Structure 1
Amino acid sequence: MKKTFFAIILPIILIESICSQTIVKELLTENLIDPVGLDISIPRFTWILQNEKRGITQTAYEIEVESNDTFAWRSGRVLSDSSVLVAYKGLPLKSNTLYFWRVRVQDNRGYISDWSLPGSFRTGFLQPSDWKAQWITPTLEEDTVNRPSPYLRKTFQTKKEIRSAVLYATSHGMYEAYLNGRRVGDAHYTPGWTSYHKRLQYQAYDVTGLLQQNNTIAVMLASGWYRGTLGWSNKNNHYGRHIALLIQLEIEYTDGTRERVISDPSWRSSTGKIIYSEIYNGEKIDLRLEKEGWMFPEYDDSQWAYVKKTNFDTAKLVATYNEPVRQQEIFKPAAIFNTPKGEQIIDFGQNLAGWIRMKVKGKSGDMITLSHAEVLDKEGNFHTANLRAAKAQCTYILKDTNKVILHPHFTWHGFRYVKIEGYPGEIKPENFEAVALYSDMEPTGSFTSSHPLINRLQSNIKWGQKGNFLDIPTDCPQRDERLGWTGDIQVFVPTAVFNMRVHNFLTKWLRDLEADQLITGEVPNYIPDLGSNVNRAAWGDAATIVPWTLYKTYGDKRILHQQYGSMKAYVKSITNVTHDGLWDKGVTFGDWLAYSPEEGERKTPGTNKNIITQAYYANSLRIMMNTAKVLNIPDDEIYYTNLLEQAKKAFHTAFINEKGDLISPSQTAYSIALEFGMIPYHLEKQAAARLVELIDDFGHFTTGFLATSPLPHILLKYGYGDLAYKLLEREEYPSWLYPITMGATTFWERWNAIKPDGSFQTQKPQSNSFNHYAHGAVGDFLYRKVAGLDIAPDKDAVGYKHNLIKPFPGGSLKHARAILKTYYGTVGSSWKLDGKQMEMTVEVPVNTRATVYLPSTTPENITEGGKPVNTSTEINILGQEEDKYTVIQIGSGKYQFKIQRL
């Protein structure tokens, strides 16, 4: 937006006001800041309101959208408190067009804000016909073994003053694009991994500042996910045998004329320094083969081969609106040492997904190999057996004696330790750094407490998420897998939405889940699919659980509209094979990687897997019932309500005996049954008591991926808070804190990945990931229960418009705090125990409210800001509850409560 444009527009006054106290800031379009390349015809706008006064809400808004000095939409005054995902209602948007928008609001005090600073968005290609570029592929004789990365280039001239230039690009494989030697954008692994046969993303880049009179577009390609080695069988070419490129540069000159540069057969191709590149195995770069200056206009490419046109469908192209993978934290060496075997090792102190950036000076032909590993073995040697077939190596061959900075382009590794071979000279810390790479989602949540190991637990949870949220939610970042397992994300998603804004990230993934569903509705085990099995209970349920969680967290009803067909199809695929409401032919991985004692240790009771399949089926029915209600589809709501009752009755008949106990006396069975409401109400307390007996019998939990994270919630709900905290603070194996005592900086796949004596678990040592985020789902308990920050339980409460603050102090903790940045602003809950006094600090964003549970049934024992809470005009006392709490309702602002505890 040209700052002069809106500045000269006469203000449209909503009401007379002499004072504007509310500030509008942080404008988002489709949850992104100033996005480029949206193909959404009706984008949605979000803004945050700031006002230090309490109890401030929005009562009206006004939005203006313009392009090329012409209004596309002027909403006028709209009486509404909506400030999140407000839909555009203007003129039809045009392709490849820059739009600016601004907003101002009226609050409940009658004040009118100033206009916000402008936000912007540029549309991408709204129709397949907008693509004029041609798919091209190199004609070089291909090395089918090593598959070196092809180089492609095109020179062109511009002869006028440029107003704007946008580069649209995608590929079969991965690409990096350059204009006149400068990298286009800062994204890695583009175009990302999707269900390529049905959805292929393109990226849009504003390259106005990169153009000059004489220009060269230069592109490096690599096999990537498209044709690279994926899965465990060492197979490649899953989506196709040949990599290809599609590029369209749209140039607008200041005189209003336009020019287009496209990929076509006039491009040239060759190869260069990247002689091998695979995701699992790593990259090999020979600097002696680099074609110096090939990215610049002056380079002579007359000896390069021409490319050929290929025929791929542009109708499958979609814009990218999830955050790209970018370089993130940088770690310096924490230690440099030699192992007992004499290996030279650098320890970076943190298990991460990324690569090494290395400075080196040697002589031509020197070859340096960097190998990556997560852990050392018991003897202190470099351990790579758990990588299975993944080589996870980067090799560099030097060209001359000049000092160079090296890193790979199209691969990444999961590692903490790096083994250095062939490095010329002394290995000095200043010459090495580890660069973390993951999708660039905004950090939103933080949690701290008085317990150092629990704080480390939160750090491990976050690093597990960072290492595995790399374009898709992978299970692990290090071995020959790195797949989008559905079971892992459905368990972890309540934790994920707290730590990062995963809204667009998971929306993109869900579109691929729908694309890869079978025509009969079954969901593959991982997305994108490589030909896996389908409809494993608790894995396929990601089709319902993930979109529902996104809706509840972000208030995004569109995600339910978009996924409703997918959700229905999945549930129908199960319903079709049930009889009398029972899904007894379901297949599941069970409570994956539950506590598994070594030989000679006490065995745990087994769990009838149909308990798991039926409980998850019922949970998906419940989600469908609620989704149909939200979308106002009453016939579906009735249909799923009836199916749910039938499924619950079938569960009672099949799995609860005449004593009211489950037929499987396992922690897993009781945890999952109680979590999903499968126990009749009059038997719930009995079931909870039985669960406690089973935990006490072993002295610890014996559960796995599915049943562990619900345990502390269930225990707290039924009055066993002391046991919930005992499990949380337990440091011995198995427990959440045990890996931390063994030096872990991320979550392990298996509870006993490393045993107390330093040796590795023996059941399946080749499958022993040390960066698997699923068990980090306990984070949800830290945020929602320990700190007490949650969405209110109202049926229509979504997106933190109505907050719930209800902490549960316990164990040895003396204080805890959770802070979450929502689309409305920051909501916070913290508490501190000081003798018989408890202090609570609550922060509520503007345009929201909160229901707060204060742990005293005597309001006279509670003060806020030093004044009795029952005398405050800003606090509404709702009453007492559970013989423990005084329940209040408050508006926006910061509050300091002190409660005298009896």
Structure 2
Amino acid sequence: MHNKGSFHPYDLRCEYKVNYLGLGERSPRFSWKLHAEGRDVRQSAYRLQVSTGGQEIWDTGKIISDQSLHITYAGPALGSRTRYEIRVKVWNQHGQESDWSEAAYGETGLLDQDEWRASWITARFEQSEPCQLLRKLFTLGDNIVSARLYATSLGVYRVYVNGESADDTLFAPGWTSYNKRLQYQTYDVAKLLASGENTIGVMLGNGWYMGNLGWNGLSQLYGNERAALLQLHVQYKDGREEVIVSDDSWRASKSALLMSELYHGEYYDARLESKGWHNKGFDDSEWTQVSLLDYGYDTLIAQEGEPVRIVEELQPVQVLRTPNGETVVDFGQNMVGWVQFAVEAEEGHTVVIRHAEVLDNDGNFYTSNLRTAKQTITYICRGDQVERYEPYFSFQGFRYIQVEGIRPELIATRVVAKVIHSDMDQTGTFECSDELVNQLQRNIVWGQKGNFLDIPTDCPQRDERMGWTGDAQVFMRTAAFNMNVAPFFTKWLKDLAADQLPDGGVPFVIPDVLRGRHSSAAWGDAAVICPWVLYERYGDRRVLEQQYESMVKWVEYIRSQGEQEHLWNTGFHFGDWLAMDAPNGSRVGSTPKDLIATAFYAYCSALLAKTAAVLNKLEDEVRYTELSERVTEQFRREFVTPNGRLASPTQTAYVLALMFDLLEEKHRPQAAAVLASYVEEQNVRLTTGFVGTPYLCLALSKHGYTDLAYKLVLQREYPSWLYPISKGATTIWEHWDGIKPDGSLCEDPMNSYNHYAYGSVGEWLYRIAAGLDTDVQNPGYKKVRIAPQISEAISYARASYSSMYGMVASGWERLEDRRMKVKVVIPPNTEASVMLPGAAMGQVVESAVPVAYAAGVHSVRQTEAGVQLEVGSGEYEFLYVFK
């Protein structure tokens, strides 16, 4: 942050991104943060300016407003391939004017399809294997001042300019519903070009477009030919422009990468390498001419989500010799990415790297849970000095690798694991006095890293790795604490809308590669819940506008399903998937599926009504409010006795009824007591699955049973969140008993050790244990809610969150003599409601001042729960004796 005095705007962003290259939005939005010393600082006005080429094109003038998020550009229409400089200045509530912020930029991509001059090119030989190489030699003049390469592919691609990668992103163009939406990428390649001869090289692999997807061995789900589309625009100092495009003058060859599959790994024969193929001076006279593919441009969109990158590296923790005689490397962390290795051997020598998440009960390498996924890298040496290899188009889920072909004593210095995921800003931290809970938080974050690779996958290792809607929906609020997931989910939700069926049904997975399998309750409800979470967490109204039609279609689909009005009691449902109370031999919990489906029907129609209110669709607000009320009434008639007991005596049934406010007010205390008794009858253990678990602790805390929620979270015996940690877990498991108490492993066919759904308890850690939340009436942390619920079971808890306004923090610590310390950070241009639990008004001091007189404190009142404060921005430290 550049300091321009005590009060200034910084971190100016365009559509969530700093200096956006390849912007495809014609009405982009701008957001900024305020740096301010002291307390209770608010923005009273702002002025935004946008210019291009030194010419100002839009000046808002001084706008009286406290808004600093998502200010929509309203100037002249933006042009393609144009860089726009953005700057902002602000005024505080005292009329103090800041300096201009540092300039940021948004540079548009190709906004109109008719600007594509390039042709789709392909090499028509053995399309499934091996990977293809494409190249073009061309000549440029002197004095290049700018160069932009726009590129995409059918398949996945890497692009090189004069032998160098165009940038550090991976798995382009990403995974979308390709037949409807295909992203292109924008690269700044000016520094890679030179006057005279230059070369562009492209490597093409199968990826999601053509490769194996799903557990049925299917491939070529989107098409049967790989292809590339590239367009390079070079600007010279004298104003001239030169355009190099993919066309039939390009040359093609097979590569040394003989097999590359997302699930299965890669087979690379270095003896077949065309050394220097992507550089100038290479002789491609024996290469073949490319063919043109008539594919068109109508599905092309600019890159929307965050790109995938190598984000960190892990070194080996130890090299093991298993009882079976396997040489195995332990990286100490279950992760997603790949291994780079080095080898020095004779020509034809083979190195094989296999990947696994765990060792079995005997300490041997365990891969049965991968099903048909091979996760194997095979490398054939060319035999000259030290050779290094890492995959191009395949990723693996693993903690352990089995190595063949590198001498055991050299392995520790010859391998490194590279962690790969969508490169989202990490925004949240949580910690407390219990180190196992801290490990749980780390496991949740690592599960998110491993499964947020361009789409939110269920698991990253076996022959699945799909965008399961239910998993994404239950984990999303936790995800939004840990990382900035707004662009990531905005992209994915557009694919959900694109793949939604004509009748409004929502596929189980997005993008939809299971074709014809769709519309389970709690899974399809992602269509409504996920946009609402983005609005709630980021104040993003536009995502509601974009998804509104999809949200309505989903609720109307449910309305059309029930055999009885306002009840959803038909069709296939996953139910409370993998619940502990499932009958023997079943993966579906005991909670009736129609109870779950109707509960989500009521919840989603209520969220849709709230969405309609936000968007000023008043008739829809009335319509869906009434619908939700009628579904709730029908839920009570069908599933609740006159005395308020649920027909289904399961934890999940009570959790949903309490969490979604489906019971009459008078029955809720009794229902909460029943839920608590069910937990206690299990010796403080859960019996919930994918549907009930995310809400279990929240429902208990909402109704006065926070002590029991803490006991659940801190439970170390199976089944619990901490039990897997006792078995060495470094990510969240799919099953509560992925490794059983006796050391044996759960069922092979469905036993992922990196499955984030149960990591949804992270929301409770942030919101309840640390007490950090946003006020839904003032979303995106415009108004912060600080309300920690304190337990004797731990001595402190604290969380921080880097919001769109700046850092928010909440933490409490129990001191000696029942004294309590609560520390809070509220960013400028926001305010907060702060609850000090167990406090008496006359005994609270803030920075040694009686709280009623503390700077920034607007109001103080005593409640049964403690002292309730309304405060402005700033850092606060409250001390009091806990009642």
TM-score, shorter chain, exceeding 0.5 = yes
Aligned partner of 1:756 among 723, 738, 741: 741
Alignment of 1:771-782 (within 5 A): 771-782=754-765
Aligned partner of 1:100 among 69, 81, 85: 85
For 1:153 and 1:551, how far apart are their aligned partners in 2?
A: 45
For 2:107 and 2:568, how far apart are their aligned partners in 1?
A: 48
The question of whether the paired residues in 2 share the 8 Å contact of 1:586 and 1:610 is answered with no
For 2:541 and 2:860, how far apart are their aligned partners in 1?
A: 30
Alignment of 1:180-259 (within 5 A): 180-213=162-195, 214-259=197-242
TM-score by length of 2: 0.98
For 1:705 and 1:128, how far apart are their aligned partners in 2?
A: 43
* 2:866 is the counterpart of 1:885: yes
The CA deviation string for residues 780-812 of structure 1, in whole angstroms up to 9 with x for no partner, is 00000000000125xx31000000010011142
Residue in 2 aligned with 1:138? Answer: 123
Q: Name the SS for the 1:428 alignment partner.
A: helix
* 2:393 is the counterpart of 1:401: no
Which amino acid counterpart does residue 705 of structure 1 have in structure 2? F
Residue in 2 aligned with 1:7? Answer: none
Q: In 2 relative to 1, CA 526–605 (structure 1 residues): closer, same or farther, beyond 3 Å?
A: closer
The question of whether the paired residues in 1 share the 8 Å contact of 2:819 and 2:882 is answered with yes
Q: Which runs of 4+ in 1 moved over 4 A?
A: 596-601
Alignment of 1:727-738 (within 5 A): 727-738=712-723
Which amino acid counterpart does residue 812 of structure 1 have in structure 2? A
Residue in 2 aligned with 1:166? Answer: 148
**How many pairs align?**
876
TM-score by length of 1: 0.95
Aligned partner of 1:691 among 675, 680, 688: 675
For 1:804 and 1:850, how far apart are their aligned partners in 2?
A: 6
For 2:853 and 2:300, how far apart are their aligned partners in 1?
A: 61
Residue in 2 aligned with 1:157? Answer: 139
For 1:606 and 1:321, how far apart are their aligned partners in 2?
A: 41
Residue in 2 aligned with 1:179? Answer: 161
The CA deviation string for residues 29-77 of structure 1, in whole angstroms up to 9 with x for no partner, is 1100111111111111111111121111111111111111211211111
Alignment of 1:17-96 (within 5 A): 21-96=6-81
Residue in 2 aligned with 1:13? Answer: none
Residue in 1 aligned with 2:359? Answer: 376
The CA deviation string for residues 820-875 of structure 1, in whole angstroms up to 9 with x for no partner, is 00010000001100131000110000100011011245221100001111223521
Residue in 2 aligned with 1:6? Answer: none
Residue in 2 aligned with 1:572? Answer: 556
The question of whether the paired residues in 2 share the 8 Å contact of 1:604 and 1:702 is answered with no
Residue in 1 aligned with 2:247? Answer: 264
Residue in 2 aligned with 1:837? Answer: 819
Shift of 1:425: 6.5
The question of whether the paired residues in 2 share the 8 Å contact of 1:58 and 1:80 is answered with yes
The question of whether the paired residues in 2 share the 8 Å contact of 1:586 and 1:613 is answered with no
The question of whether the paired residues in 2 share the 8 Å contact of 1:580 and 1:646 is answered with no
For 2:61 and 2:468, how far apart are their aligned partners in 1?
A: 46
Aligned partner of 1:539 among 523, 541, 550: 523
For 2:157 and 2:565, how far apart are their aligned partners in 1?
A: 53
Aligned partner of 1:657 among 641, 649, 660: 641
Residue in 2 aligned with 1:307? Answer: 290
Aligned partner of 1:870 among 828, 852, 869: 852
Alignment of 1:494-513 (within 5 A): 494-513=477-496
* 2:404 is the counterpart of 1:445: no
Residue in 2 aligned with 1:855? Answer: 837
Shift of 1:100: 0.9
Q: In 2 relative to 1, CA 175–875 (structure 1 residues): closer, same or farther, beyond 3 Å?
A: same
In terms of mean alpha carbon deviation, does 195-204 or 296-305 score higher?
A: 296-305
Which amino acid counterpart does residue 614 of structure 2 have in structure 1? V
Shift of 1:703: 0.5
Shift of 1:538: 0.3
Residue in 2 aligned with 1:897? Answer: 878
Alignment of 1:465-864 (within 5 A): 465-530=448-513, 531-578=515-562, 579-595=564-580, 606-699=590-683, 700-761=685-746, 764-793=747-776, 796-835=777-816, 836-856=818-838, 858-864=840-846
The question of whether the paired residues in 1 share the 8 Å contact of 2:579 and 2:589 is answered with no
The question of whether the paired residues in 1 share the 8 Å contact of 2:852 and 2:860 is answered with no
Unpaired segments ≥5 residues, structure 1? 4-18
Q: In 2 relative to 1, CA 640–143 (structure 1 residues): closer, same or farther, beyond 3 Å?
A: closer
Q: In 2 relative to 1, CA 857–609 (structure 1 residues): closer, same or farther, beyond 3 Å?
A: same
Shift of 1:596: 5.2
Shift of 1:701: 1.0
Shift of 1:114: 1.1
Which amino acid counterpart does residue 278 of structure 2 have in structure 1? M
For 1:703 and 1:596, how far apart are their aligned partners in 2?
A: 7
The question of whether the paired residues in 1 share the 8 Å contact of 2:735 and 2:751 is answered with yes
The question of whether the paired residues in 1 share the 8 Å contact of 2:127 and 2:226 is answered with no
Shift of 1:429: 1.4
Aligned partner of 1:125 among 106, 110, 119: 110
For 2:581 and 2:360, how far apart are their aligned partners in 1?
A: 21
For 2:803 and 2:398, how far apart are their aligned partners in 1?
A: 32
Which amino acid counterpart does residue 897 of structure 1 have in structure 2? F
Shift of 1:880: 2.2
The question of whether the paired residues in 1 share the 8 Å contact of 2:127 and 2:225 is answered with no
Q: In 2 relative to 1, CA 641–816 (structure 1 residues): closer, same or farther, beyond 3 Å?
A: same
For 2:408 and 2:656, how far apart are their aligned partners in 1?
A: 57
For 2:281 and 2:389, how far apart are their aligned partners in 1?
A: 25
Which amino acid counterpart does residue 748 of structure 1 have in structure 2? W
For 2:64 and 2:72, how far apart are their aligned partners in 1?
A: 15
Question: Between the two proteins, what is the percent identity of the paired residues?
Answer: 45
In terms of mean alpha carbon deviation, does 190-199 or 680-689 score higher?
A: 680-689
Q: In 2 relative to 1, CA 129–758 (structure 1 residues): closer, same or farther, beyond 3 Å?
A: same
Q: Name the SS for the 1:785 alignment partner.
A: helix
Residue in 2 aligned with 1:462? Answer: 445
Shift of 1:597: 7.6
In terms of mean alpha carbon deviation, does 560-569 or 852-861 score higher?
A: 852-861
In terms of mean alpha carbon deviation, does 430-439 or 657-666 score higher?
A: 657-666
Q: In 2 relative to 1, CA 760–453 (structure 1 residues): closer, same or farther, beyond 3 Å?
A: same
The question of whether the paired residues in 1 share the 8 Å contact of 2:856 and 2:873 is answered with no
Q: Name the SS for the 1:426 alignment partner.
A: helix
For 1:605 and 1:180, how far apart are their aligned partners in 2?
A: 58
Residue in 2 aligned with 1:277? Answer: 260
Which amino acid counterpart does residue 366 of structure 1 have in structure 2? H
Q: Name the SS for the 1:315 alignment partner.
A: coil
For 1:219 and 1:287, how far apart are their aligned partners in 2?
A: 18
Q: In 2 relative to 1, CA 679–737 (structure 1 residues): closer, same or farther, beyond 3 Å?
A: same
For 1:119 and 1:599, how far apart are their aligned partners in 2?
A: 59
For 2:154 and 2:14, how far apart are their aligned partners in 1?
A: 29
For 1:585 and 1:574, how far apart are their aligned partners in 2?
A: 10
For 2:7 and 2:255, how far apart are their aligned partners in 1?
A: 57
Residue in 1 aligned with 2:372? Answer: 389
Shift of 1:445: 0.3
For 1:243 and 1:811, how far apart are their aligned partners in 2?
A: 60
Unpaired segments ≥5 residues, structure 2? none
The question of whether the paired residues in 2 share the 8 Å contact of 1:331 and 1:348 is answered with yes
Shift of 1:82: 1.1
For 1:31 and 1:774, how far apart are their aligned partners in 2?
A: 26
Q: Name the SS for the 2:133 alignment partner.
A: strand
Shift of 1:640: 0.3
